[in-house]
Amino acid sequence: MLEYDLVVIGGGPAGLAAAIAAYENGIEKIVILERDVELGGILNQCIHNGFGLHRFGQELTGPEYATRFINRLTETNIKVMLGTMVLSLNSDKQITCVNKTNGLFIINAKAIILAMGCRERNRGPIGMPGDRGSGIFSAGSAQRYMNINGYLVGKRVVILGSGDIGLIMARRMTLEGANVLAVSELMPHSNGLSRNIAQCLDDFGIPLYLSHTVTEVIGKNRIEKVVISQVDSNYKPILGTEKEFNCDTLLLSVGLIPENELTRSAGIPIDFRTNGAIVYDDMQTETDGIFACGNVLHVHDLVDYVSAESEKAGKNAAEFIKNGYISNDRKSAVTIKNGNGVGYTVPQIAVIDRVEKGLEIFFRVKAKSENSVIEVSSENGKIASFKREFLAPGEMERIVIPKKLLADVSENITVSISGGAK
C-alpha cells in the first residue's frame, strides 16, 4: 500500500501541467501514473507545428511543447511511474494499479486528478457498411504509424470526417507522397479549426465533401474502393449521389471520446453532453477531492487551453489537500446551462463566492454563424454579453464573466447565442 498526497492519472499535457501546478502550490508528495512508456501523451506523435502560440507566443511542434513541461518536471521531486495501468479507483480515493516492476498494487491518495485524455471513435459506433479488408485506420493510429514508427499506411487515401486530426493527416500523407482523393464530412460544416481547413486541404487542393458519408467499402483483403454519398437533413444517404474512389486506404476522423471508464467506475457523475465528468469552477468533480482536466473532461482544440485548465485543477487540488473543502455544500453554487445554439458548457457548476476575478466558461456552439452575440443570463435577467464575428462548432469558445457582474446571481446561469447570419 503506497501513500501519496496527490495522484495524477495520465502523463500527457494535462497531467504534466496539473502535477507541476500542484507542486508549485506546496504539494510535494505527488505521483504521475502513465500507461505509456514515456511522458507527453498524444503530443509525441504530433510533429506538426502550431502548438504554444497562446502560451509561449511561439509555434512549437507537439514534442517541443511536451518537452517544456517535462523539463520543468525534472526540476521537482514529483515521482513518475511509466508503463503503469490504473485498473480502478473509488470514491475513497483508493487506486488499484499494475506494472512490471511492482505487479498489482494499491495507492491511497488525499486527492486525485483525472487526466486520461481521450480516444478515437472507430468504425463500429458509426455503423459503417461494407467489407472489412485491411487499410482502414483511425486518423490518430495512422499518425502514430507514420510519425513514430515510420510507416506510410497507404498511397491512395479517402478520409471520413473533418476533425482536426483527419485534416492534419490529409496534409501529412500528401507531404509523404500519398494521393489524398477526398475528405468526406457527414455534417454540413467541418468539425476542424478553420486554419486547418485552409492549411491542410485548400493549400493542397484536396476536396472537402460536406453532407457526405461513406456508404460502401469494397475489398476483401485490402480495400479497393470507397463509395461516398450525399445525405439529407436527417443524415440519410440520397440515392443517385454516389461518388466512387479507387483507393487502398480509408482514414476515420469521426470524433473523440473522453476516456472516462475509471471515472464511471468511481461513481462520479458524467455529463452526457461532453462525455466527461460534471465539474465545478475549480475543476473538482462531484466526488470531493477528485478533479478532472484536459480532454478527459471535454475535447479541446488547443493544447494551450488544456495546460491552463489543468494548472487550475492542480492549484485547487493543492488547496483541497492543505485545507479541505466540500464543493457540494457551498450555498452559492449555481448550475451553468446551455441555452439556444450552445451544445455544452464547462464548468457545469460554479460557486459564486469562490470566484476571484471572473468566472471562466468554455463551450461549443451547435451551428456556424456570423456577427453573433453570446448572451449570459440568470433568472433575474441579463448578466453579460459578448460579440463574436464568427462562431463554429469546430472551435471551442471561451468567455470570462467579471466577478462584479455575478454579485446578485443566485439562480442558474444560461449561456445562449442570439442574432447572426447562419
Which residue ranges form the domains of the chain, and what is each CATH number?
A: 2-119+257-328 (3.50.50.60), 122-254 (3.50.50.60), 342-418 (2.60.40)
Q: What pLDDT was estimated at residue 422?
A: 55
Please provide residue 241's backbone torsions phi and psi, each rounded to the nearest 5 degrees: -105, 15
Cell matching residue 418: 442570439
| Torsion angle (degrees, nearest 10) of CA 421, 195, 367, 387 | -50
pTM of the model: 0.93
Q: What pLDDT was estimated at residue 328?
A: 47
Rounded Cα distance, 158 and 225, in Å: 9
- Strand ranges for 116-248 from DSSP E: 118-120, 136-138, 156-160, 179-185, 208-210, 212-218, 225-230, 243-246
Rounded Cα distance, 365 and 32, in Å: 34
DSSP labels, 208-230: EEETEEEEEEE-SSB--EEEEEE
Rounded Cα distance, 349 and 413, in Å: 9
Rounded Cα distance, 135 and 132, in Å: 9
Rounded Cα distance, 182 and 132, in Å: 20
Q: What pLDDT was estimated at residue 421?
A: 58
Q: Which of 8, 18, 7, 10 is nearest to 69 (CA)?
A: 18
Distance of CA 343 to the CA centre of its chain: 15
Helix/strand/coil for 2? strand
Mean pLDDT split into 10-residue runs, the chain, 422 residues: 96 98 97 97 94 93 97 96 97 96 96 96 87 94 95 97 93 96 94 90 96 96 97 96 97 94 95 96 94 97 95 96 70 88 96 90 93 92 93 92 89 89 56
